[in-house]
Chains A and B, each alone.
Chain A
Amino acid sequence: MTDRELNRRVFLQRSAAVAAGTAALTTLPAWAGPATAEASPSRRPPLVPDVDVRPAAKADPTEATVAEAITLLRRRSLRATDLVEAHLDRIAKFDSVYQAFNAVTADSARAQARAADRHGSGTLNGIPLCIKDNYYTAGVATTANSFIYESFVPPYDATSVARLKAAGGIVIGKGQMGPLATTRATTPNGTITTVNAWTPGTVSIDPGGSSTGPACSVAGRMATSSIGTQTGGSIVNPSNQQNLTGLKPTMGRTSIYGVIPLSYTRDHSGPLARDALDAAIMMTIMAGPDRNDPRTLGLPAVPDLISSALPVRRHGKVVLRRPTTIGVPPDFLTGVSADVAALRRAFLDTLDAIPGATVVHVGYPADWDLMTGTFNNVRLSERTEPFLPFLKEDPKLFGVSLLSWLQGLFLSGDEWITGQRAKNHLLREVLDGVMSGCDVLLQTGPVPFDILGLPELALPIGFTAIGAEPKVPSGTILGGRPYEEDRLLEVAAAYQAVTSWHTQRPADPTLPSAGAKRTESAAAPAAEPLRLTAEEAATLSA
């Protein structure tokens, strides 16, 4: 039996042997909520203009962006069945190496593709998507890579999934993830699964987490786009690590109804996509009010994100759609390798050369490290509360991820309230201080804007060498004011119109010989697969 095959039944047997005499594990409680997620807000379906399709995408549909695929399908230059089959072919051929999926829904994807070719409609008609495995998918197991959910089959789709499906999107599989959305993707016991699609032979190179599988599926051309979740960088980090454009929206912009919770006040849903336009298309479909998630109600209307993600040219030259000031914090060019610092300098130079962009340097408040450091741990109480019944049942159900769930018990109620006061304090420091002179703030880590629920967009800015790997993606993160995802997309669209990092795809992985084990390095001798320890999982946890 491989670690990947470890299931709840085996877990139960093991637990019974280890803790004979303890109370029997119970099953998940019966669900008694509404019958369906709200499929779509009442508004017209978004219009995606035809785009110039690159020759690579014409030759191989797995190269296509969402916008390119929509264009090809609309022109009847491509059939949904061919698009889906091409991705399933790559999954069959390469996912034993990538391990991006923990479930592939091939039969239903093929059936939906045939229906899409016959009478499909919707913006995403026929587009294959990878869904992170913490989104409820009706009738399809949703495990969050945890023993707790090993046999859980949701009775309905998460709102985001329902909206993507209603728009014609085809779920091709569920993406691997860190257990309960904590770390890079591992099995519940910490054994690493998914690799970085750019470095499949070097498992130790970070693929980003916890939306690791969705990122790898798109980078490895096994899905045209994907959705993930973010509590502590889990959309932007894997996007940066695997050369994608990820959009973590403002809290409430997208519903998280039907998403397995990690930290209620910080859980966000959003796309990991191939470029800014794809992120905008996916976000447009996902966004908007959902009566099942009150956090989405009473907020500013969703702007025209798709137009925001289309580059603007004047006299043949790319310009920013609106004049935009981009703030560079003091640590943006420090604390990283010389190679990464050089990429960041080149990124700033490129941005600064785009008419309409102004790059300025900004400072942090004196208590920045405290507010975004220790105060980040205030979130831990939020993960403990919804999972307490399972902690009581058997803490081993949390596998390698247990520690941070227990840590949440050791902050008192008054300390949690102090943490919420600190959020307000930090919000004012960011909006009235750091961002008082800029529209967009470059981020050196995702945590501050995760704490505040502010929008972030990750985008590729080049490649560096790491060890024997000559080409590892490097990215950066733009941060915005509340509900200004459009501003972030405008900047990303202009940058991507004058650069081509986002159009590059990794080489296909070398398939191992029969019986070979995955190792730290392709050149290394056979060894046990890499595992995270419980302490590492707690330290790295989103």
Chain B
Amino acid sequence: MAVDPSALTIDQLNTFIASRLVLSGIDLSLLPTAPDPVTGAPTQAQVLSSLRSFVLSNPVVINAWRPSPPAGTADATILSQELSPPLEYPSITEAWTGERTGR
């Protein structure tokens, strides 16, 4: 059965966010609890609100995508593993592979 990220409560998300920050060594309590015009840094509440929005709107979209084999292909999920291998620098790879450099 598919899980539904939108069913996560604010408390659950806040716990996840705070835990992830701690795991990366980041102390949320160093941020102000009221607006701080001197540094301009967001408050702790602003950070939690912003990150709740981010985690509900980004990972689920990105991890749902897969390159699509031709329509009607059997075992599409398996075959998609062979498509579009990851490229950190696609334009450089294009030059190295000699494809379509135009030169």
Contacts and interface: CB of A to CB of B under 8 A. Distances in A.
B72 interface: no
Contact of B87 (A14, A420, A531): A420
A189 B39 contact: yes
A499 interface: no
B95 A396 contact: no
B37 A482 contact: no
Given A392-B25, A398-B41, A420 B101 contact: no
Contacts of A427: 87, 90-91, 94
A300 B31 CA distance: 48
Given A377-B58, A411-B59, A425 B42 contact: no
A482 B31 contact: no
Contacts of B84: 421-422, 424-425, 428
A470 to B, nearest CB: 33
A18 B30 CA distance: 8
Interface in A380-405: 388, 391-392, 394-396, 398-400, 402-403
Contacts of A454: 91
A210 to B, nearest CB: 16
B87 to A, nearest CB: 4
B94 A482 contact: yes
Interface in A404-432: 406-407, 409-412, 414-415, 417-428, 431
Nearest to A405: B26
Interface string B64-83: 01010000000000000001
Contacts of A423: 86-88, 90
B92 interface: yes
B31 A538 contact: no
A419 B30 contact: no
A430 B73 CA distance: 24
A450 to B, nearest CB: 11
A395 B31 contact: yes
Contacts of A22: 27, 30
Contacts of B36: 18, 396
A67 to B, nearest CB: 25
Nearest to A419: B62
B86 A420 contact: yes
A538 B50 contact: yes
B24 A388 contact: yes
Contacts of A395: 26-28, 30-31, 41
B102 A483 contact: yes
Contacts of B58: 374, 377, 407, 410-411
Chain A facing B: main interface SS: helix
A418 B63 contact: yes
Contacts of A483: 91, 95, 101-103
Contact of A431 (B17, B30, B38, B94): B94
Contact of A147 (B37, B39, B87, B88): B39
A97 B46 CA distance: 33
Interface in B1-60: 17, 20-21, 24-32, 36-42, 46-47, 50-51, 54-55, 57-59
Nearest to B80: A421
B83 to A, nearest CB: 8
A370 interface: yes
Nearest to B33: A18
B21 A406 contact: yes
Contacts of A394: 30
Nearest to B99: A431
A188 B89 contact: no
B31 A295 contact: no
A189 B40 contact: yes
Given A388-B24, A392-B26, A403 B47 contact: yes
A407 to B, nearest CB: 5
A534 B87 CA distance: 32
B86 A417 contact: yes
A439 B89 CA distance: 21
Given A425-B84, A483-B103, A534-B46, A399 B39 contact: yes
Interface in A173-200: 187-191
Contacts of B87: 420-421, 423-424, 427
Interface string A498-542: 000000000000000000000000000000000100110010000
A11 interface: yes
Given A11-B39, A410-B55, A417-B86, A453 B62 contact: no
Select the residue from B17, B42, B100 with max chain A CB neighbours within 10 A: B42
Given A300-B95, A420-B88, A482-B94, 6 more contacts: A299-B96, A391-B24, A395-B41, A406-B26, A427-B91, A534-B50
17 contacts: A14-B38, A252-B91, A303-B103, A370-B61, A378-B62, A395-B26, A396-B39, A403-B47, A410-B20, A423-B87, A431-B100, A454-B91, A481-B102, A482-B94, A482-B102, A487-B102, A534-B40
Interface of B: 17, 20-21, 24-32, 36-42, 46-47, 50-51, 54-55, 57-59, 61-63, 65, 67, 83-92, 94-96, 100-103
